[in-house]
Structure 1
Amino acid sequence: MTYDFNTIGALIGLVIAIILIIKKVHPAYSLILGALVGGLLGGGGLTTTVSTMVNGASSMMSSVLRIMTSGILAGALIKTGSAQKIAETIVDKLGQKRAIAAVSIATMIICAVGVFIDISVITVAPIALAIGKKANISKESLLLAMIGGGKAGNIISPNPNTIAASEAFNVDLTSLMLKNLIPALCALVVTIILATLLSKKKNGLMVEASDIEVNDTKLPNFFTAIIGPLVVIVLLALRPLADITIDPLIALPIGGLVCILVTRNFKDTISITEFGLSKVVGVSILLIGTGTIAGIVKASALQYDVINALEALSMPAFILAPLSGILMAAATASTTAGATIAAQTFAPTLIAEGVPCLAAAAMIHAGATVVDSLPHGSFFHATGGSVSMSIKARMSLIPYEALVGLTSTIVAVIMYLI
């Protein structure tokens, strides 16, 4: 085995990055600085460290390009009102008696069709709060329903985390999305059960009249709203169904443009695409920073030491896939960053150990949803703010969220073993 950096240096770099993120330093800068310090302390020298960081960032470019073009779809779904219409229709059809299930399913579908998980929660939140007020459901229960549904949708979506995992293992994006379908459905069921149990607890934060937003914007009909996402699904499905490859770089923006056209918002195309770009710029920059530290970790002895530790504990090598996803997502408080670092670092090792690429990518991806919503990440604060929840109350949901993510992870592992 050959490596440029030792394990201690790589781990110190990760710890420094985590501390800086907690201290509110921009995550991209935190990861870059952590990579630099980790490389130097890892014994690589300045030239080798910088070169490895640059190579790591360069390896992210294909993912960044696909994510940037995915912004067209996300922007179209949000600005045309299509995402809101899809959510409202699902909630209306399931009714007030099934409010928690409706909120979970709505968030899952919005996320699954290409809207980022935090934006999915923010989109569904006004609808959830309105129905929560009528049904007397606490904010904690509503937010858990949305977050859990979002986690379920996230592992079957063409979102940045899925793209990053598929790129690292060189597997088809559609195949990876389908691979986690059963884990996603299991996570959805657990979400509904946990949120229902949580709604029965006393002393929950109830929805106030001031929390309700009135939206007078005219929305498209449901059929029109769903056409854009359906186009994306059909285009991506052509590879496994007809052996016709339509790259997500093409499929995602085409779906967004179709959404803009069928909702008759073509005059606003420029502003919609600019809005979509603004939503993915942050993720793209984060991925570049993630690439730098992923490069250092990948070129370190960490992966070999982890394998040796697993062997010493008599644990099978495939456990590395979900475990790395869980740990890296917890470290970065980000599904995307966690899945990317884990996949970039351990893909060669997992492949060498005989774990199929698709299964390994699915287990890492599912694992990255377990503890990805810690307070040092933006998702924690964005989702809490969507329902006007205090930090203390928001933190009380973390164990429930972890159970949802753990459900999909365990099911993904079981599916690999079967």
Structure 2
Amino acid sequence: MNITLAWWAALIGLALAIALILKKLNTTYALMLGAIVGCLIGGASLPDTVKIVVAGSQSVMGTVVRVLAAGVLAGVMMESGAANRIARAIVDKLGERLAILSLALATMIICAVGVFIPVAVLIVAPIAIEVGSRIGISKLALLVALSGGGKAGNIISPNPNTIAVASGFKVQPSAVMIGSFIPALFGLAAAVLLATLLQHKGRVVTMADLGEEPAKQDDAKALPSLSSSLVAPVTAVILLLLNPVGSVLHIAILEKFQIDAMYILPLASILGLLAMKQGKHILDFTKAGLNRMVDVVLILIGAGALGGLITTSDLPKQIVNLINAVGVPGSFLAPIAGILMGAATASTSTAVILGSSSFGASILSFGVSPVAAAVTMQAGATVIDQLPHGNYFHVTAKSLNMTLGERMKVVPYEFLVGLTMTVVATLMYLVF
């Protein structure tokens, strides 16, 4: 198929998809409808439109397979109580004196071991309410700590966003995880600093915000031991890092260890289940993990379809020309694309799949390495991905029983956390 659509048609398709998402149409359908309309008004025939949409969707199948594999780990960590145990251990160890640091760090680590960021916030939120009500911390400060810590953990985790951006630039997820580690630490520091400054600003959280259901879920006596809870994430991290470490240290046997995350994540999950003596629940836990991945997979397919529209158009070429005309270094296209797509879709995963599939070739044409592009784009996608047209905004508001107005006040501080990570990643990989 040899066809190039007009750049303005791709922009209209993207704008339509965003408008439909804001109107609460299912995100997958919004993305696909935007792709179809963009193709048709751009001059594609009905058969060509089908080919473009199908080709775009097919391009994300590698990501989909790995995301489904990640669902096994996510299901095990959440349903077994392992994530909850790890979070409580961190908070108990650091104590109330370092409450904000402990809460941000707990959310970061829970997210880093493969739990979705909204779920990580939901897991730590009841603990945050308990601690915050005792020492008088505001809801604003607590959510800045939880969301900021979650954002930091999200860029170093085997979560769908990391898998998607790694697949988009054809690098290993472990390379993106390692490359994002220092920006993540800066993000954690920014979250803790901001939350500390805000701890007495706004309405103080109370035990009434906890509700009965979270309290029941957080029964510490029913949780597995800390050592057994760590088996699955530690195994996954070690196996994922073997090949990158071997490449850095030139250890031949480790360089040959090229087992994909598709194998590693389910294997680590099963070992973790056996360590927690919950092997009999494997079917229930994997089913729960798969259920949580369904929406992500569908969104990725829709994003792939819209990405097919953009890559078939001359929009990437026009953007490169615009960047050259205004004098912005072309290497900055990766974080810029991440920021713009994150704001447009209010989803880190959707942002990076759109950004990498639509602008990947253009970004690499400026001489940017695939790892640098992946790391900076993913960091950029965390800057404005918490807007109200995404689920994360509403899920996190509910976790601390916040009103819409209270939740909106958190957005600028989340922006600063994401911007901190983006600036650090950009300086590390694109400037120095």
User: Are residue 155 (structure 1) and residue 155 (structure 2) matched?
Assistant: yes
Could you say which residue in structure 1 is the equivalent of 2:225? 221
In the TM superposition, what is the alpha-carbon distance from 1:97 to its structure 2 partner? 1.1
Could you say which residue in structure 2 is the equivalent of 1:26? 26
Could you say which residue in structure 1 is the equivalent of 2:84? 84
Name the aligned partner's letter for residue 183 of structure 2.
P
Could you say which residue in structure 2 is the equivalent of 1:36? 36
User: Are residue 124 (structure 1) and residue 124 (structure 2) matched?
Assistant: yes
Distance in 2 separating the partners of 1:100 and 1:153: 16
User: Are residue 195 (structure 1) and residue 195 (structure 2) matched?
Assistant: yes
RMSD of the TM alignment (CA)?
1.2
What is the TM-score normalised by the length of structure 1? 0.97
Could you say which residue in structure 2 is the equivalent of 1:329? 342
2:407 pairs, out of 388, 394, 403, with 394
Distance in 2 separating the partners of 1:75 and 1:167: 22
Distance in 2 separating the partners of 1:138 and 1:45: 56
Runs of 4+ in 1 over 6 A off after TM superposition: none
Could you say which residue in structure 1 is the equivalent of 2:236? 232
Could you say which residue in structure 1 is the equivalent of 2:351? 338
Residue pair 2:129, 2:209 contacting (<8 A) in 1 also:
no
Deviation track 1:116-144 (CA, whole Å, cap 9, x = no partner) reads: 11111111111111111111111111111
Distance in 1 separating the partners of 2:207 and 2:133: 7
Distance in 1 separating the partners of 2:330 and 2:414: 26
- Once the two structures are overlaid, the 10-residue window that deviates more, 225-234 or 44-53, is 44-53
Distance in 1 separating the partners of 2:46 and 2:348: 30
Distance in 2 separating the partners of 1:237 and 1:179: 12
Deviation track 1:137-193 (CA, whole Å, cap 9, x = no partner) reads: 111111111100000001111110110111011111111110011100001000001
Distance in 1 separating the partners of 2:243 and 2:276: 28
Name the aligned partner's letter for residue 412 of structure 1.
A
Could you say which residue in structure 2 is the equivalent of 1:351? 364
SS in 2 for 1:114: coil
Residue pair 1:238, 1:246 contacting (<8 A) in 2 also:
no
Could you say which residue in structure 2 is the equivalent of 1:284? 297
Distance in 2 separating the partners of 1:6 and 1:392: 41
Distance in 1 separating the partners of 2:417 and 2:44: 40
User: Are residue 182 (structure 1) and residue 182 (structure 2) matched?
Assistant: yes
Structure 2, gaps ≥5 residues long: 247-253
Distance in 2 separating the partners of 1:200 and 1:134: 13
Structure 1, gaps ≥5 residues long: none
Residue pair 1:139, 1:207 contacting (<8 A) in 2 also:
no
Name the aligned partner's letter for residue 193 of structure 2.
I
Name the aligned partner's letter for residue 119 of structure 2.
I
Distance in 2 separating the partners of 1:210 and 1:367: 33
In the TM superposition, what is the alpha-carbon distance from 1:269 to its structure 2 partner? 1.0
User: Are residue 301 (structure 1) and residue 295 (structure 2) matched?
Assistant: no
Could you say which residue in structure 1 is the equivalent of 2:251? none
What is the TM-score normalised by the length of structure 2? 0.94
Could you say which residue in structure 1 is the equivalent of 2:100? 100
The sequence identity of aligned pairs, in percent, is 44
Deviation track 1:197-254 (CA, whole Å, cap 9, x = no partner) reads: 11132x4242243525243351111111111101101111121221111200001111
Name the aligned partner's letter for residue 62 of structure 2.
S
Distance in 2 separating the partners of 1:69 and 1:206: 37
Residue pair 2:383, 2:417 contacting (<8 A) in 1 also:
yes
Could you say which residue in structure 2 is the equivalent of 1:414? 427
Could you say which residue in structure 1 is the equivalent of 2:205? 206
- Work out the number of aligned pairs and report it: 416
Distance in 1 separating the partners of 2:325 and 2:3: 21
Distance in 1 separating the partners of 2:93 and 2:399: 24
In the TM superposition, what is the alpha-carbon distance from 1:77 to its structure 2 partner? 0.5
Residue pair 1:144, 1:400 contacting (<8 A) in 2 also:
yes
Deviation track 1:48-89 (CA, whole Å, cap 9, x = no partner) reads: 222111001001111101111111111101111100000000
